[in-house]
A and B are shown apart, each in its own frame.
Chain A
């Protein structure tokens, strides 16, 4: 048996029967990574010795006992590098502490293993903005894996990982999960602690599981969730037993179909796959209800003001003083400017400039304040829709994964492809991408994801419906 192909559930079963040990699994994963990852580029680094040391004290009776989890390279794990796929940190930063989500996963028995590739500072939807190396889609290496958690999606899909952690600011878990044919869950804002995640846009960021099955996502979310005294936005809401949702019926569940998410611009073949998936949910007893999210058309504009504004502030910390790259210069201001110009990549600089501009004196009201007000309207759309339905179903991405380099020269075109995912972050609700088939493009079968969106703290319904669909899909 090649342990790398196992799900969390499968691996736990193999531990229970004594067929495998964590050390064997880690060693075999490392061999898989060494032989197969260079063609994909999903990992930026991995340290077998550190993981084997962790494995020695691991408790196999815990819910995630002995499960290796690949970590997006912006989440701090003590003693591991954390580069955010940026030259400003690459080779120059070793985390001195564990993020809360890592502490919680460790408490559940998991072993962090491997640092996954990403768009630099999570800014991008294709992983082409990695400052270190390109990442490729395992289903067609000429194509992008999606982003920004492209590496996490690619390594799970390529079976060079059992499961992975990603982060989602505007779709960065769900969209690469859709493009790579895996499960990706973005929790409700405030469900999972952000302490120890390198911040991109603090009012939008959430960390979530990227897995081979819905049951695996439920197991990880159950371990990751809960209050944190180092993140005041992480809510003290009870953590339900998400794993108990697995296998429950969805009869009577009301699922909304937003007309605005099936409009012009959606690839016809992808639309057909998503509509077939909705029919499957209906055949399982769900009631399909048309809903409207009228402010959808404004979501991309709203997002790229708010996210870049927050990013320009968050990235001010990379100044060459406390960590990372420092350029040589005679004076302090010159050192800041040169360090940041040398260290940041193109997309990051573009977003810092945009974010700085929309926050600058004289423009704040016109751009940032107005975007925050439109954000309220987008939130209300969802509040009103969720008065009628329990979940909302839609595509994740309007188009299949494109070829590396195909859209790179047009940042705005790239932003517009985030249309179906970013509203969930603006509204703070939860969402999941579940594989719902493939489309054939130039002779290659490319995965398509079904997106389900849930009410704030409605992850239980999300998992129940996603699992029911996954089983019925076959």
Chain B
């Protein structure tokens, strides 16, 4: 496993010490889960979740989501002009 590559995918900026430790520990866990390779799963359908599979539909009308704009922004680390404010994206 390329720990730096995986951490980048997960948007985790790790220190060198963390990267080394996680690489070793996650490697051990992956070694353990490799026992599943010995199981014959030919023709077995995957289970995505255990509930009954069904579609849930409702009338196509706006329900408002339940939060006001003020409530939706109330926990934001930075707000500007009633919007979430971010560090600069475009140079």
Spot the interface stretch: A165-173, A370-378, A441-449: A370-378
**Interface residues in B13-64 (C-beta closer than 8 Å to A):** 13-15, 18, 22, 25-26, 28-30, 32-33, 35-37, 39, 41, 44-52, 56, 58
Spot the interface stretch: A62-70, A337-345, A385-393: A337-345
Tell me whether B50 and A203 are in contact (CB under 8 A). Answer: yes
A316 to B12, CA, bound (A): 10
Q: Given the known inter-chain contacts A298-B39, A340-B13, A377-B41, please indicate yes or no for A326 contacting B77, CB distance below 8 A.
A: yes
Chain B residue contacts of A325, Cβ below 8 A: 77
Whether A190 sits at the interface, judged by CB under 8 Å, is: yes
Q: Count of B residues near A, CB < 8 Å?
A: 51
Whether A312 sits at the interface, judged by CB under 8 Å, is: yes
Q: Given the known inter-chain contacts A305-B33, A325-B77, please indicate yes or no for A332 contacting B48, CB distance below 8 A.
A: no
Contact with A along B50-91 (1 / 0, CB 8 A): 111000101000000011000110111110000010111100
Chain B residues in the interface with A (C-beta under 8 A): 1, 3, 6-15, 18, 22, 25-26, 28-30, 32-33, 35-37, 39, 41, 44-52, 56, 58, 66-67, 71-72, 74-78, 84, 86-89
Q: Given the known inter-chain contacts A319-B11, A354-B26, please indicate yes or no for A96 contacting B75, CB distance below 8 A.
A: yes
Q: Given the known inter-chain contacts A301-B33, A357-B6, A379-B47, please indicate yes or no for A334 contacting B22, CB distance below 8 A.
A: no
Contact with B along A275-303 (1 / 0, CB 8 A): 00000000000000000000101101110
Q: Given the known inter-chain contacts A332-B87, A335-B87, A350-B25, please indicate yes or no for A203 contacting B76, CB distance below 8 A.
A: no
Tell me whether A235 and B33 are in contact (CB under 8 A). Answer: no
A300 to B34, CA, bound (A): 12
A337 to B9, CA, bound (A): 10
* B52 CB contact (under 8 Å) in A190, A341, A352: A190
Tell me whether A233 and B84 are in contact (CB under 8 A). Answer: no
Q: Given the known inter-chain contacts A304-B29, A305-B33, A331-B87, please indicate yes or no for A353 contacting B51, CB distance below 8 A.
A: no
* B39 CB contact (under 8 Å) in A304, A344, A352, A377: A377
Chain A residues in the interface with B (C-beta under 8 A): 92-94, 96-97, 189-190, 202-203, 229, 232-233, 235, 295, 297-298, 300-302, 304-305, 312, 316, 319-326, 329-338, 340-341, 344, 349-350, 352-354, 356-357, 360, 366-367, 369-377, 379, 411-412, 415, 425-429, 456
For the complex of A and B, 9 pairs with smallest distance between CB atoms: A428-B50, A337-B13, A372-B46, A203-B49, A326-B77, A323-B75, A373-B41, A96-B71, A232-B56
Q: Given the known inter-chain contacts A341-B12, A369-B46, A370-B37, please indicate yes or no for A350 contacting B22, CB distance below 8 A.
A: yes
Chain B residue contacts of A337, Cβ below 8 A: 8, 11-13
Chain A residue contacts of B14, Cβ below 8 A: 341, 349
A83 to B32, CA, bound (A): 32
CB-nearest residue of chain A to B43:
A373
A330 to B45, CA, bound (A): 47
Tell me whether B36 and A371 are in contact (CB under 8 A). Answer: yes
Taking the closest CB of chain B, its distance from the CB of A146, in whole angstroms, is: 21
10 contacts between A and B (CB under 8 A): A233-B49, A319-B11, A324-B77, A335-B86, A341-B14, A369-B46, A370-B36, A370-B41, A372-B46, A373-B47
CB-nearest residue of chain B to A429:
B50
Beyond A321-B86, A427-B50, 8 extra complex contacts between A and B, CB < 8 Å: A202-B49, A235-B51, A326-B77, A334-B13, A336-B11, A344-B12, A357-B26, A375-B47
Taking the closest CB of chain A, its distance from the CB of B41, in whole angstroms, is: 4
Taking the closest CB of chain A, its distance from the CB of B20, in whole angstroms, is: 12
A204 to B10, CA, bound (A): 22
CB-nearest residue of chain A to B3:
A353
Tell me whether A190 and B51 are in contact (CB under 8 A). Answer: yes
Tell me whether A96 and B22 are in contact (CB under 8 A). Answer: no
Tell me whether A298 and B45 are in contact (CB under 8 A). Answer: no
Chain B residue contacts of A295, Cβ below 8 A: 39
Chain B residue contacts of A333, Cβ below 8 A: 11
Most buried by A among B18, B33, B45: B33
A332 to B91, CA, bound (A): 11
A302 to B56, CA, bound (A): 28
A434 to B29, CA, bound (A): 32
* A332 CB contact (under 8 Å) in B6, B25, B76, B86: B86
A425 to B51, CA, bound (A): 11
Tell me whether B6 and A360 are in contact (CB under 8 A). Answer: yes
Chain B residue contacts of A336, Cβ below 8 A: 11
Chain B residue contacts of A373, Cβ below 8 A: 41, 44-47
Taking the closest CB of chain A, its distance from the CB of B86, in whole angstroms, is: 6
A350 to B35, CA, bound (A): 20
Chain B residue contacts of A332, Cβ below 8 A: 86-89
CB-nearest residue of chain A to B19:
A353
Chain A residue contacts of B6, Cβ below 8 A: 353, 356-357, 360
Tell me whether A330 and B32 are in contact (CB under 8 A). Answer: no
CB-nearest residue of chain B to A338:
B13
Tell me whether B88 and A331 are in contact (CB under 8 A). Answer: yes
